[in-house]
Amino acid sequence: MNKPARSFTRKPELPPVNAALENPPVASLEKAAVRKLRHQPPRSRFWKSLAALWRRRTTVIAVFAAVAIAANLILRFGFHMSPGAYQIPLLATLALGGIPLVYELLKKLFRREFGSDLLAGISIITSVLLGEYLAGSIVVLMLSGGEALELSRTPWPSNRLPLAAPRFSTRQGR
């Protein structure tokens, strides 16, 4: 059962002369590209910022709606512009903010999740059909602002539950 000792001074085997013709270097590059990386390359800042904006899209819509309403009022009463000019920010709000919000509400409607948000979606659509773009933009601001506040709030019962647990457990045992 004695195994022969391995020789550590082994000479590397050279490939045959015509091996370069059989295995072109392009194939070896493709094999190297197929191998998995040990770590993934870091995502660029651009994609990280887009992901952060997507998570906070209701906040972005609310801020955009507030700025557009302010721009509308400044253009209308400050500069006395024509109706076509001062309604551009409102139309942008309804297009960039109202359409995504109404789309989300339609998805909730098809899942049969009814709420007061559905009424806001109906009022956005109605304001566009009636040409009342300021009212529709205000509803977009209210709806997106409310959703942004709901997403940003911290649930207080989970913060206060450990403080209340010992007090309630001692009273329950008596």
Contact yes or no for 68/137 (Cβ under 8 A): yes
- Report pLDDT digits (tens) over 125-169: 999 999 999 999 999 999 999 999 988 875 655 555 555 555 555
Helix (H) or strand (E) holding 55: helix 45-55
Distance CA 124, CA 144 (A): 12
Distance CA 49, CA 54 (A): 9
Distance CA 9, CA 29 (A): 30
Chain center to CA of 173: 48
Instruction: Outline where DSSP puts E strands in the chain.
Output: none
- Report pLDDT digits (tens) over 53-110: 888 899 999 999 999 999 999 999 999 999 999 999 999 999 999 999 999 999 999 9
Distance CA 37, CA 69 (A): 49
State what percent of residues in the chain have pLDDT above 70: 63
Q: What is the pTM of this model?
A: 0.64
